[in-house]
Structure 1
Amino acid sequence: MDELHSLDPRRQELLEARTSVGTKGLTNNECSNHSFGSLGSLSDKESEVKFLFSVRGPKISDYFDVSIGLLPCVCWIHVKWQIFCLSAVRNFYFVTDLTVLKLAALESTKNLDLEKKEGRIDDLLRANCDLRRQIDEQQKLLEKYKERLNKCITMSKKLLIEKSNQEKQTCREKSMQDRLRLGHFTTVRHGASFTEQWTDGYAFQNLVKQQEWINQQREDIERQRKLLAKRKPPTSSSSQTPTTNSEPKQRKTKAVNGAETEYHEQEEIFKLRLGHLKKEEAEIQAELERLERVRNLHIRELKRINNEDSSQFKDHPTLNERYLLLHLLGRGGFSEVYKAFDLIEQRYAAVKIHQLNKNWREEKKENYHKHACREYRIHKELDHPRIVKLYDYFSLDTDTFCTVMEYCEGNDLDFYLKQHKLMSEKEARSIVMQIINALKYLNEIKPPIIHYDLKPGNILLVDGTACGEIKITDFGLSKIMDDDNYGVDGMDLTSQGAGTYWYLPPECFVVGKEPPKISNKVDVWSVGVIFFQCLYGRKVRGSWIVLK
């Protein structure tokens, strides 16, 4: 037995091949059945072993051509093999009995785990169903809220359009009334062309008539004063002549004194009348200046209405499915600025619509678009309370694109100065302090930025007065002072000739072989010119020298 156990597995296979094929097959089948069959008693297995010994297969001589002398050896090996198989079967059933106990315990454990897992799966399925039901409910609720939101947006659009139409109608009615009072444009033919000529209204005509009447009264008074001066009586010292009769002398003295008194009375009346006329003339002049300011507003409104009526965006379109255009704020060379309402953020905004000329060459269109994109990239990164915020940028078609900016209710500083000429030192100082604060921010960010086009037209008064907040806008000509372009002496001015001449320093006009160098001092110069204009109501005289 020990020898059989010590045999190498390959040798065992060789012995198995030399034994009966039937015995081998039966033994294998039995082992296979015992490995995977049902559990039985040990007596049953012993009977199966007896059956194993009783079964004999074909003789070995049937498979091998051997001599008769080897038969005892083969029989001995066959007996040894049967003893080995019996021992193996007994050991197998002993091991199998131990494993079955473990398998039973393992099976019970697995069954418990399986029940727990099935219970957990059921719980998860129920939770999943609950979550799906909640998701469906939330989805329905979301759809309901979306529907409500769309209704609110639709109603908001409707109300905003109605309000805008009412404001437009009111502006046009007021404009028609002011046409008679302040004046209007009339078309006049000059040869083969037609030009628009301004005609004053009855308010200016009445003031002109009053001024003419005052001038006529002044001329009459001056003429009467000259005539009175010719009739001026002689003084008492010059009228004293030697006379012999005292009574006629007294009568003559009384007559002279009466004429002199009348002269002085009349002279005083003429002076009072001239003073009164001067006062009336001052009032007329003040009223004329006030009407001129109102007329400027009226002319501006007439131009705005005319531009709005000729615009293709006058019928309240919604751009980019978000911005509802309300009315036109202003119009430039190639752009229009509309007051709009952001339907998503629920706030007012200023939408600047850039329209390229369709007759331009593609190269010119590309340059204009590149310039606008550059302004957008610069302006988008700026975040300061004294700088107008840029919200969005999008294209409508190949020739039209839009920029969305912060909306300011008031006008710009240029319009304010045209209306009021100048302002107090405190108001001017407040405006300059806010501008300097914004310039400080532009020079502290990386890379620093030169605005290059600071002027009253690019300074917005938030509430339209000089005593409130201001915001800087229009970064179309701004320069980026990066390391590649900015050196110790400054950066090259590649856009010489651009900008507003009145507010640029002398170095921007230097003509030479190389472009002039500029720095952030350009904006400092512009602030000084703006400060001077706010205080004195006119531009710096040195600007004339620069222009020459």
Structure 2
Amino acid sequence: MTSQQLEALENKSTCELAKKDAAIDKLELVSFEVMKQVQSHQKQVERHKETIQKCINITKMLLIEKSNLEKKSARQRCMENRLRLGQFVTQRQGASFVENWVDGYAFADLIKQQERITQEREEIEKQRKVLGKKKPTSSGSSAISSKSNKAVKENNEGFLRPNDKPLTATEFYEQDEIMKLRQAALKKEDTDLQLELEKLEQERNIHIRELKRIHSEDASRFNNHQILNDRYLLLSLLGKGGFSEVHKGFDLKDQRYAACKIHQLNKDWKDDKKANYIKHALREYNIHKQLDHPRIVHLYDVFEIDNNSFCTVMEYCEGNDLDFYLKQNKCLPEKESRSIVMQTVNALKYLNEIKPPVIHYDLKPGNILLGSGGFSKADSSQQGSVSVSGEIKITDFGLSKVMDDENYSPDCGMDLTSQGAGTYWYLPPECFVVGKEPPKISSKVDVWSVGVIFYQCLYGKKPFGHNLSQAAILEENTILKATEVMFPSKPLVSNEAKNFIRRCLTYKKDDRPDVLTLSADDYLKPPTLKSKKFSEDSSSQSSL
């Protein structure tokens, strides 16, 4: 290779190196610019994180401040109502002390007024009887004079008493009209007092419930706005059960209210009992977490708090449950009751259409939550009260049964493995059959529950075993004897509603419709669909 070729190669290599150096410099410059942008974005992200954290802290502070004001207001309201509505008073009974309820001055005043009205009524009745003896006869003055002579003869002294002086027809009817008007006025006053007493009783129920809630909240170890799982801020206690308490919380991550159900295991329980409780709760969670329907409360999360407690986080629903509403208002109009049943059946239909289907098994008014959007008759002064004209959601899947292929057969159902559990007033007869083999159940259990709930909404009482305890229902075989449902004469209910209830409360489960059949019932269809079906049936009959 000549020197010229070597020089050419050298120049070529030098040029290539120069190009590579230029490319490297360019890439380094681009890399530097990218690094600057990344650092800028990182700083921006950090600033956003700081801003979000500040917003969360402010939100947390405002929520805690609002919660404290609500707690203070609730306690102040209870203190004001103690004297007016009543309070629990500790009294000694033998060697122990018990808390008894004592009504307030508002009830005492109403009772005094009722006693006064009763006395005035009795006095008017006496006066009317005396007046009746003085009623003039149609025979005129001769009859009056004979009556006067008779009164004189009956008088031991032979004189006519001033009170026994006979009245003219005008005087008699004048006094009789005055007494009738007084009686009508007293009757109206007594009716008004009865309405006021009912309103007071409703206020007292709310007051008692609030007193118990505040007492439970003060005794809870989660009453100081703790943050669970680094995201759920506890605001106030909603209610307390056997081994759990439900708090109103706020999800700081997703920025929404939530209901936090804290399960607390007894420290004295044995390990196998704790394990069984946790297994039961996790089973409920595994069923509930897969459900996604607008008429079913959503389950968001579950996590452990410590060795003896864990928490399930659910959708927060403003308002009370149907059970509390019925206790306050006794019964509901058919239109509102039908709306609740329609929505409940819609939720049950969804449970039976998913794979595998689910039997709720514990359907009752206490597990039907009423949405906000109106003012309750029981407490119209508080905003956000429940309304039966709004949406409902069903909850509590603790006793639910999964109808999987392993345990369920479409022909005969599935074994009832938890016989004895549940709320007896709302369970069908097949759940109480005792034998060598466990009874077979299906979605028809929930259909029976729907019938009982509908009946209770309409008539203000349960169709079977209304005033009996669960123990008495078992002892007397109340549900096993519930072969026919009886309807009171009042309030007036349509025959369509009664027939719908009869179909739900069919004694033999083989003759009772299942959930999917019930969801297609004519009574639950919109009027347009009913009229369409009627016209189709009419046309088919005319063609025949």
TM-score by length of 2: 0.77
Q: In the alignment, does 2:224 pair up with 1:315?
A: yes
Is contact 1:337–1:353 with CA below 8 Å preserved after alignment?
A: yes
233-242 or 472-481, which moves further after superposition?
A: 233-242
Q: Distance in 1 between the 2:412 and 2:12 partners?
A: 87
Is contact 2:331–2:460 with CA below 8 Å preserved after alignment?
A: yes
Compared with structure 1, are the counterparts of its residues 281 and 138 closer, same or farther at alpha carbon in structure 2 (3 Å cutoff)?
same
Per-residue Cα deviation, 1:491-539 (whole angstroms, up to 9, x for no partner): 1000111111111111111101111100011111111111111111111
* Larger helix percent: 1
Is contact 1:415–1:457 with CA below 8 Å preserved after alignment?
A: yes
Q: Which runs of 5+ in 2 are unaligned?
A: 147-163, 373-385, 467-472, 482-544
Compared with structure 1, are the counterparts of its residues 240 and 381 closer, same or farther at alpha carbon in structure 2 (3 Å cutoff)?
closer
Q: Distance in 2 between the 1:403 and 1:209 partners?
A: 50
Is contact 1:234–1:256 with CA below 8 Å preserved after alignment?
A: no
Q: In the alignment, does 2:401 pair up with 1:498?
A: no
Letter in 2 for 1:157: K
Q: Distance in 2 between the 1:241 and 1:382 partners?
A: 88
Q: In the alignment, does 2:358 pair up with 1:449?
A: yes
Selected match of 1:199 from 80, 92, 102? 102
Letter in 1 for 2:222: F
Residue 312 (structure 2) aligns with: 403
Residue 254 (structure 2) aligns with: 345
Is contact 1:408–1:462 with CA below 8 Å preserved after alignment?
A: yes
Residue 120 (structure 2) aligns with: 217
Q: Distance in 2 between the 1:399 and 1:539 partners?
A: 38
Q: Distance in 1 between the 2:80 and 2:165 partners?
A: 62
Residue 133 (structure 2) aligns with: 230
Residue 505 (structure 2) aligns with: none
Compared with structure 1, are the counterparts of its residues 485 and 239 closer, same or farther at alpha carbon in structure 2 (3 Å cutoff)?
farther
Compared with structure 1, are the counterparts of its residues 126 and 181 closer, same or farther at alpha carbon in structure 2 (3 Å cutoff)?
same
Compared with structure 1, are the counterparts of its residues 256 and 216 closer, same or farther at alpha carbon in structure 2 (3 Å cutoff)?
closer
Q: Distance in 2 between the 1:443 and 1:185 partners?
A: 46
Q: RMSD of the alignment, in Å?
A: 2.3
Residue 298 (structure 1) aligns with: 207
Q: Distance in 1 between the 2:363 and 2:145 partners?
A: 85
| CA drift at 1:266 | 2.2
Secondary structure, aligned partner of 1:184: strand
Per-residue Cα deviation, 1:372-400 (whole angstroms, up to 9, x for no partner): 11111111111111111111111111110
Residue 468 (structure 1) aligns with: 390
Per-residue Cα deviation, 1:413-456 (whole angstroms, up to 9, x for no partner): 11111111111111111111111111111111110011111111
Residue 59 (structure 1) aligns with: none
Q: Distance in 1 between the 2:145 and 2:442 partners?
A: 92
Q: Distance in 2 between the 1:296 and 1:547 partners?
A: 33
Residue 380 (structure 1) aligns with: 289
Please show how residues 319-330 of structure 1 align to structure 2 within 5 Å. 319-330=228-239
Is contact 2:86–2:102 with CA below 8 Å preserved after alignment?
A: yes
Please show how residues 53-64 of structure 1 align to structure 2 within 5 Å. none
Is contact 1:372–1:476 with CA below 8 Å preserved after alignment?
A: yes
Q: Distance in 2 between the 1:120 and 1:126 partners?
A: 10
Q: Distance in 1 between the 2:47 and 2:28 partners?
A: 28
Give the percent of matched residue pairs that are identical in Structure 1 and Structure 2. Answer: 64
Q: Distance in 2 between the 1:490 and 1:107 partners?
A: 91
Is contact 2:413–2:440 with CA below 8 Å preserved after alignment?
A: yes
Is contact 2:295–2:392 with CA below 8 Å preserved after alignment?
A: yes
Secondary structure, aligned partner of 1:153: helix
Secondary structure, aligned partner of 1:204: helix
Letter in 1 for 2:55: C
Secondary structure, aligned partner of 2:168: helix
Secondary structure, aligned partner of 1:546: coil
Higher relative contact order (CA 8 A, sep 6+): 2
Per-residue Cα deviation, 1:202-243 (whole angstroms, up to 9, x for no partner): 111111010000011011111222222333344417946999
Secondary structure, aligned partner of 1:313: coil
Q: Distance in 2 between the 1:394 and 1:469 partners?
A: 29
Compared with structure 1, are the counterparts of its residues 110 and 483 closer, same or farther at alpha carbon in structure 2 (3 Å cutoff)?
farther
Residue 535 (structure 2) aligns with: none
Per-residue Cα deviation, 1:19-67 (whole angstroms, up to 9, x for no partner): xxxxxxxxxxxxxxxxxxxxxxxxxxxxxxxxxxxxxxxxxxxxxxxxx
Q: Distance in 2 between the 1:531 and 1:190 partners?
A: 43
| CA drift at 1:112 | 3.9
Residue 124 (structure 1) aligns with: 27
Secondary structure, aligned partner of 2:310: strand
Q: Distance in 2 between the 1:403 and 1:322 partners?
A: 13
Q: Distance in 1 between the 2:421 and 2:298 partners?
A: 24
Selected match of 2:399 from 477, 480, 483? 477
Residue 322 (structure 2) aligns with: 413
Residue 259 (structure 1) aligns with: 168
| CA drift at 1:106 | 5.8
Mark the structure with the bigger radius of gyration: 1
Letter in 1 for 2:115: E
Q: Distance in 2 between the 1:329 and 1:139 partners?
A: 42
Selected match of 1:546 from 479, 482, 503? 479
Per-residue Cα deviation, 1:475-502 (whole angstroms, up to 9, x for no partner): 1111100000001200100011111111
Letter in 2 for 1:332: G
Q: Distance in 1 between the 2:204 and 2:165 partners?
A: 57
TM-score by length of 1: 0.77
Letter in 2 for 1:472: I
Alignment coverage as a number of residue pairs: 440
Q: Distance in 1 between the 2:10 and 2:69 partners?
A: 85
| CA drift at 1:132 | 1.6
Is contact 1:412–1:456 with CA below 8 Å preserved after alignment?
A: yes
Is contact 2:292–2:298 with CA below 8 Å preserved after alignment?
A: yes
Q: Which runs of 5+ in 1 are unaligned?
A: 1-96, 244-254
Is contact 1:432–1:527 with CA below 8 Å preserved after alignment?
A: yes
Is contact 2:137–2:144 with CA below 8 Å preserved after alignment?
A: no
| CA drift at 1:153 | 1.4
